[in-house]
Amino acid sequence: MSSIVPSNFKKSRACLECGLVKTIEQFEETGCENCEDHTPMQGNKPAILQSTTATFEGLIAIMKPKESWIARRRGFEKRVPGCYALSTDADQTSSRNVTRY
C-alpha cells in the first residue's frame, strides 16, 4: 500500500472523521481511504467540503501504522499510511470544541 501525502500542504484539508490530510483534488480522486465506506467523498466536491476542514493543528506522518508506537498510542493502527492532523476545528463559526485525535 502506498503512502498518502498531500501534494500541496498550503491547500491541504483534514477529514473530520479520521484526520487524514490531503488536498481537495486528492480527496476528489480517491476519497478518504479510512472513511469512504460510510462517508463517500470520491468525485463529490460538496461532500468533501462538508466532511473536511482546512482548519487543523499539528501534523503527524505515519508510514507503517501497524508498527508505529505513535500510531498505536493514538489508535491509528488500522488507518492507511499518510499524514494526519492532530486536531481539527470542525466548525470555526460555531462554539464546538476542537476535536482531538
Transcribe 29-96 into DSSP letters. HH--TTTTTTS--TT-HHHHHHHEES-EEEEEEES-TTT-HHHHHHT-TTSPSEEEEEEE-S-TTS-P
CATH code, 9-89: 3.30.40.210
Could you tell me what percent of the chain has a pLDDT over 70? 85
DSSP conformation class of 27: H
- The 10s digit of each residue's pLDDT in 22-64 is 999 999 999 999 998 888 999 999 999 999 999 999 999 999 9
pLDDT of res. 2 = 55
pLDDT of res. 96 = 44
Q: What is the pTM of this model?
A: 0.81
Does residue 83 surpass a pLDDT of 50? yes
**Neighbour-count burial for 17-30, b at 16+ CB within 10 Å, e otherwise:** bbbbbbbbebbbee
Domain boundaries, the chain: 9-89
Could you tell me what percent of the chain has a pLDDT over 90? 67
pLDDT of res. 1 = 46
Whether 32 and 18 have beta carbons less than 8 Å apart is answered as yes
Whether 39 and 20 have beta carbons less than 8 Å apart is answered as no
pLDDT of res. 10 = 86
